[in-house]
């Protein structure tokens, strides 16, 4: 999803920098003209170091997409090891908080109506069996988005998208991470989607660009569902 977004932004002439896990950057290196900064999103010192390096390159930014998330196993709460719960919270909600907090000074330094877009999930709005730990994190991202929007208005707009099931490396655990799941029956899920298919990464690009851009200049604190119509049923 991040790679699709970077391609779209570069195609429109926007300068882009990438912050990601070392393993993900090694697996999918950005283009030579795209600055890249390795970080562990769940580690405060690592996040601060990466954003300090970014600020040395660019003292301000007009937009930030907080595209963080991974899943590890699906188990009922009664059977979920606490270390798995802690890892999922750290890699999702804590990481979104740390990166949002680090990005805010650069966004406030912009004089062009800066915007942040967080990435939640439809599982933050509804919960399936075995996903309560992940859903709790993504619901937290929605609440965090609302808080950030109110605290940083009118200078920085903050919104979120809530993707449905999307055919990316997330379905195996996450880019740059060890495979956590077996293959999923995407055709079976796609048959349930009113638009007739499972989402691909490029389906999320338009909503993110809209929320980052001036067309959404009067939109803040909102979560846009992007799931092909499943949640509206």
Q: Which residues are catalytic?
A: 134
Question: H helices within the chain, ranges in order?
Answer: 2-11, 22-27, 44-57, 82-89, 95-108, 132-152, 186-190, 202-212
Q: Quick check: 192 and 200 in contact, CB under 8 A?
A: no
Instruction: Kindly tell me the sign of the dihedral angle through the C-alpha atoms of 96, 101, 102, 104.
Output: positive
Token pair of 133 as six digits: 């730990």
CA 29 to chain centre: 19
């Amino acid at each position: 999803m991040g790679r699709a977004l970077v391609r779209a932004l570069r195609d429109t002439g926007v300068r882009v920098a990438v912050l990601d896990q070392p393993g993900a950057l090694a697996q999918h290196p950005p283009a030579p003209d795209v600055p890249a900064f390795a970080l562990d999103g769940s580690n405060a010192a690592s996040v601060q170091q990466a954003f300090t390096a970014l600020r040395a390159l660019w003292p301000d930014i007009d937009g930030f997409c907080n595209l963080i998330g991974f899943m590890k196993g699906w188990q009922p709460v009664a059977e979920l090891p606490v270390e798995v719960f802690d890892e999922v919270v750290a890699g999702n909600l804590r990481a979104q908080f740390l990166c949002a907090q680090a990005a805010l000074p650069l966004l406030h330094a912009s004089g062009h109506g800066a915007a942040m877009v967080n990435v939640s999930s439809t599982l933050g709005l509804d919960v399936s069996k075995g996903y309560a730990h992940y859903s709790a994190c993504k619901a937290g991202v929605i609440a965090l988005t609302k808080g950030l929007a109110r605290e940083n208005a009118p200078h920085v707009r903050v919104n979120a998208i809530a993707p449905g099931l999307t055919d990316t490396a997330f379905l195996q655990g996450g880019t740059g991470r060890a495979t956590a799941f077996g293959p999923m029956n995407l055709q079976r899920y796609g048959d349930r989607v009113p638009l007739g298919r499972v989402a691909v990464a490029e389906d999320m690009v338009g909503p993110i660009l809209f929320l980052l851009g001036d067309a959404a200049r009067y939109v803040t604190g909102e979560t846009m569902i992007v799931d092909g119509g499943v949640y509206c049923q």
